[in-house]
Amino acid sequence: MRSALLLSAVALAGCTGEAGITIYNVAPSVSITDPVDSAMFEEGETLTFRGVIADDGPLDDLTFRWASSLDGELASLDIPDAEGNIELTTANLSPGVHVVELQAVDGDGLDGSDNVTITIDEVPELPSIRVEHPAVGEQGVMGQPFVLLVNVSDAQDPPDQLVVEASSSPTPGFVCYMVPGGTGDAQCTASWADAGSYLLTFTVTDTDQNTSTANATLQIVDPLDFDGDNDGYTPNGGDCNDSNATMYPGAPEICDNLDNDCNPNTLIDVGTDCFDDDGDGQCEAPPCANTSSGLADCNDADATIYNNPNVQEQINGTDDDCDTRIDEDTSVYDDDGDGFCESGNCINASGTQPDCNDNAAPVNPDANEDCSTSYDDNCDGLTNTQNAVGCQHFYLDQDGDTYGVRGGTECYCDTGVQPYTGTNSNDCYDNNANARPGQGSWFSVNRGDGSFDYNCDNAQEKRYNGSYSPCFAEFAPFTCETNSAGWTSSNPQCGSSASWVDSCDNSYDAFCMGVCILTETYASCTNCYTCGENYETQQQTCR
């Protein structure tokens, strides 16, 4: 704790000059900068304390003192430099908690101080030793070398300056010296001729002749009573191979072509993956010990299940044919990978509707019906239904003439369905099948709405046109000719009847003709010829 700055009293620290001015003296200022408060160090470690001192007078006039609450005043020859820096270096602080103080006193007896608290941890003087080998319960064999191993250390000395000695009781007494390496490990090799329990004592000595000891027990046994492979059995205990930890009485058989359980009455490798346990000619991991098949059996506890691509899977939750799939090709398995199976309750898909063809992925309840196929694409029991993909639009055709009208269509794959059978919307009147584009026939009654436009050309075309021109006679070959066929009156309306002349009949006076011929007055023969007209009642038809 730093002391407060003290202002001296005039009577104690001041003096009066010639002009009667009183001069005041200030106590020194002290601060410890290193180490920090609560720092910890080991016994014998070299420490450097640093501080800073300031005063209103020359620093040379000050006296200084470092002190420890445990060790008293600490010797120091260091004095502050021009900036007031001062140090103390020591490696002799006692173990424990120290309050180290730096104090400065000026010529008038005024002082300033600061302190820091540190801890010095005690370092043990004795070396340490730990037995690594033999471990607890470890055994050695009569007459065979055994490695002894310890680890040593010392707070003051490096490991290679320590001396380690091993001894045995009851015999042979001294066993060996052990030289530690850089990590403190020290070892030697020894042997014991007789079976028995031996107490081993290991002693480590440092350069100050401080010693520490550690003990271990070693059991020396007959070779036939030694568990050489550490499997829990000795040759005298029934181990048939004491150099292989997988071979001992009751050991599980493994695929190594060895008698692991030391029982000649059991088959070698029986019960393992390389043994055909169910007698179906296959084992789990070929090559097999008792069969020549190279196929892997996925269930070696069931002779009915083995690797056979010709086996039909059953709905039983078992891989019957060992192809790594379960219940494939059955109604509960989605075989084509479209998310649906035949039963609708699949073990490998989420679809709940039945698949009507589980060998074709495009066919499933989620598919779209398609006009280009001849089967039921979406499993609804119908083929090429209305609005299927690729369908053709058919127009409303109420009169069934294959010509429809605007205003409504339905989409079908092949042919329309009444009343949607029109392949176009060109029908001009959809209540009469005779009224349609391209109609070539003539009609004497209107199509139903008063119009005779049967061929949908937006006009009424009359079949019979023209006015009649009279008949006239020709001398040779004494015939009658009609100038033109036609109505004897005006052209009647569609559906109406009138008189129509379409031909002329000739007649002559035979006596007149005879006289004409005999007298060779042929020019007068026309007087013997008479032309008559043929009339008929004709109905005007239109389209």
Per residue in 389-399, pLDDT (tens digit) is: 999 999 999 99
What is the mean pLDDT of the segment spanning 452-470? 88
Confidence at residue 534, expressed as pLDDT on a 0 to 100 scale: 79
Asked if the structure places residue 525 within a domain, the reply is yes
Confidence of residue 149 (pLDDT cuts 50, 70, 90): very high
The answer, yes or no, to whether residue 478 has pLDDT greater than 80, is no
Cβ-count burial 472-495 (b if 16+ within 10 Å, e if not): ebeeeeeebebeebbbeeeebebe
The answer, yes or no, to whether residue 15 has pLDDT greater than 60, is no
Confidence of residue 310 (pLDDT cuts 50, 70, 90): confident
> How far apart are the C-alpha atoms of 355 and 361, rounded to whole Å?
9
Domain co-membership, 151 together with 198:
yes
Asked if the structure places residue 379 within a domain, the reply is no
The answer, yes or no, to whether residue 19 has pLDDT greater than 60, is no
Asked if the structure places residue 144 within a domain, the reply is yes
Query: Which DSSP helix (H) or strand (E) runs through 179?
Result: none
Asked if the structure places residue 58 within a domain, the reply is yes
Asked if the structure places residue 341 within a domain, the reply is no
Confidence at residue 23, expressed as pLDDT on a 0 to 100 scale: 60
Average pLDDT, the chain: 89
Asked if the structure places residue 29 within a domain, the reply is yes
Per residue in 97-110, pLDDT (tens digit) is: 999 999 999 989 99
- Residues 89/48, Cβ–Cβ less than 8 Å: yes
What is the mean pLDDT of the segment spanning 142-153? 97
Confidence at residue 21, expressed as pLDDT on a 0 to 100 scale: 57
Per residue in 219-256, pLDDT (tens digit) is: 999 999 999 999 999 999 999 999 999 999 999 999 99
Domain co-membership, 105 together with 184:
no
If you count them, how many residues does the chain have? 543
Domain stop point among 206, 225, 244:
225
Domain co-membership, 116 together with 185:
no
Confidence at residue 6, expressed as pLDDT on a 0 to 100 scale: 34
Q: How many domains does the chain have?
A: 3
What is the mean pLDDT of the segment spanning 157-185? 94
Domain co-membership, 108 together with 139:
no
Confidence of residue 3 (pLDDT cuts 50, 70, 90): very low
Confidence of residue 531 (pLDDT cuts 50, 70, 90): confident
Domain that holds residue 535: 469-539
The answer, yes or no, to whether residue 344 has pLDDT greater than 50, is yes
Domain co-membership, 116 together with 15:
yes
Residue 211 burial class via C-beta count within 10 angstroms: exposed 0-12, middle 13-18, buried 19 and up: middle
Confidence at residue 171, expressed as pLDDT on a 0 to 100 scale: 81
Domain co-membership, 115 together with 20:
yes
What is the mean pLDDT of the segment spanning 473-492? 73
Tokens 């050489």: give the residue: 228
CATH number at residue 63: 2.60.40.10
Domain co-membership, 172 together with 69:
no
> How far apart are the C-alpha atoms of 389 and 517, rounded to whole Å?
89
Order of strands across the sheet that contains 529-539: 486-487, 497-508, 529-539
The answer, yes or no, to whether residue 17 has pLDDT greater than 70, is no
Domain co-membership, 136 together with 217:
yes
Domain stop point among 225, 254, 283:
225
% of the chain at pLDDT higher than 90: 74
Could you give phi then psi for residue 219, rounded to 5 degrees?
-100, 120
The answer, yes or no, to whether residue 167 has pLDDT greater than 50, is yes
The answer, yes or no, to whether residue 476 has pLDDT greater than 70, is no
% of the chain at pLDDT higher than 70: 93
Confidence at residue 522, expressed as pLDDT on a 0 to 100 scale: 67
Asked if the structure places residue 356 within a domain, the reply is no
The answer, yes or no, to whether residue 47 has pLDDT greater than 50, is yes
Confidence at residue 209, expressed as pLDDT on a 0 to 100 scale: 94
Domain co-membership, 137 together with 221:
yes
Domain co-membership, 86 together with 166:
no
Domain co-membership, 140 together with 113:
no
The answer, yes or no, to whether residue 425 has pLDDT greater than 70, is yes
State both tokens at 168.
Answer: 């045995």
Domain stop point among 121, 145, 170:
121
> How far apart are the C-alpha atoms of 5 and 8, rounded to whole Å?
10
Domain co-membership, 107 together with 208:
no
Asked if the structure places residue 99 within a domain, the reply is yes
The answer, yes or no, to whether residue 78 has pLDDT greater than 60, is yes
Order of strands across the sheet that contains 392-396: 405-412, 392-396, 420-422
Q: What is the pTM of this model?
A: 0.42
